[in-house]
A and B are shown apart, each in its own frame.
Chain A
Amino acid sequence: MELFGLSLALLALFVSFGFMVGVLFGFFGMGGSFLITPTLLLLDYPASVAIGSGLAFYFGTSVIAVLKHYDVGQVDYKLGAILFVVLSIGIEIGSRLVFGLEALGIANLVTGVAYVVLLAGIGALFLRRAYNLEDDDDDGDDDANDDEIPAVGQKIQSYSVPPMINLTSGGRASLWTIGGAGGSVGLVSGLIGVGGGFIRMPAIYYLIGTPLTAAVGTSLFAGLFSGAFGTFTYGMSGSVDLTVVSLLLVGSALGARIGSAATTMVEEDDVIVYFGLMMVLASAGIALSELANWLGTGALDLVSVFLLVGSSFFVASMILYKVVQSIGASESNTRGTPDGGD
């Protein structure tokens, strides 16, 4: 039986996978599009459709994030508008590269390899963070001031390469720096179908040199419009599967609410190591899939999907389990307090 042109099993997979991705990224504060594109690649969607649908999913989650956080962080609108333009140029170049690679028949391979590196890199960073957690707890005094511009940003701003623009925070940045940073992030977004918030925000903070609060708000602002542009660009060539994006969003919007609420009940430190492992397993899953394609066998396909989707389900389930455990513990505490003997 089919509904919206998809089998019921696929329909359930997309809604539940969207839900799990929503839980994960609502909890860890990321968009999650970098799990969507590789999953669609593993399910044999053409690279351009996987990337276009990943960007459209990112756009939908950005709208929800902006609605939720519209009052969080300052926005440097001038910088945001310039970033939107350069991000869009980067996305356009990235998308043309994808269509060029598709014409050469190597788009899936290039995108797959890019995801192997990207997910393994993010996984390694999270594992390192988990490993260093105890040291950070001991230090306790290295918190950056949200209103300060980082030293790297100040150093880059000290090189005056015209044209320079004034930032709301008081500093000045070269249009070349903004163009280089924003264009590179846009290129990555357009090429592999990620929102790029995890590189866009640090690029604004460290390279352009804005205070952290302004970097978060401006990144969200520029990301929303560039996500819309990416959806539009891939939509022009019919490379966005609206059914898949809609099903993922239905699950993700609910999951993100639960994931976001879970941050008040579950310590991030307790699950961060599993998140890092999940990313490494997802990377291994895509690597296996590429290997299977190279060997011309479909035998490893199931293992690849299991590693990518299964590991996400496992970590999201773990967060939900800890939420239930935390609610159970607080209920038993409430009941125990009146006659607790103290």
Chain B
Amino acid sequence: MIESAALSPLVQATILVGVILVQAVALYVGYGALERVATPLIDTITDAR
């Protein structure tokens, strides 16, 4: 929960939606990048065995 006495519930709820949106996009992009880096690496290791 995002709690701050200075912020109204409306602002807190809007920030919450924004945080989850940004987090989901970051996770999608981050894991996508990780997959692009990891796949050739795994292939190289597997081929070398």
Report A's interface with B, CB cutoff 8 A.
56, 59-61, 63-64, 67-68, 228, 231-233, 235-242, 245-246, 249-250, 253-254, 257, 331
Contacts and interface: CB of A to CB of B under 8 A. Distances in A.
Closest 5 CB pairs of A and B: A235-B13, A63-B24, A253-B27, A235-B16, A60-B24
B9 A63 contact: no
Nearest to B15: A235
6 contacts: A60-B23, A231-B16, A231-B17, A236-B9, A240-B1, A242-B16
B44 interface: no
A257 B10 contact: no
Given A235-B9, A242-B16, A249-B27, 17 more contacts: A56-B20, A59-B20, A63-B28, A64-B28, A67-B25, A231-B20, A235-B13, A236-B10, A237-B9, A241-B1, A242-B19, A245-B20, A249-B20, A249-B23, A250-B27, A253-B31, A257-B35
A241 B9 CA distance: 15
B21 interface: yes
A62 to B, nearest CB: 8
Interface residues of B, number: 21
A232 B13 contact: yes
Contacts of B23: 60, 246, 249
A180 to B, nearest CB: 27
A233 B9 CA distance: 10
User: Secondary structure of the B side of the interface?
Assistant: helix
B28 A238 contact: no
User: Secondary structure of the A side of the interface?
Assistant: helix
A64 B1 contact: no
B23 to A, nearest CB: 6
Contacts of B25: 63, 67
A238 B27 contact: no
Nearest to B24: A63
A59 B14 CA distance: 13
Contacts of B3: 238
Nearest to A243: B1
Contacts of A245: 20
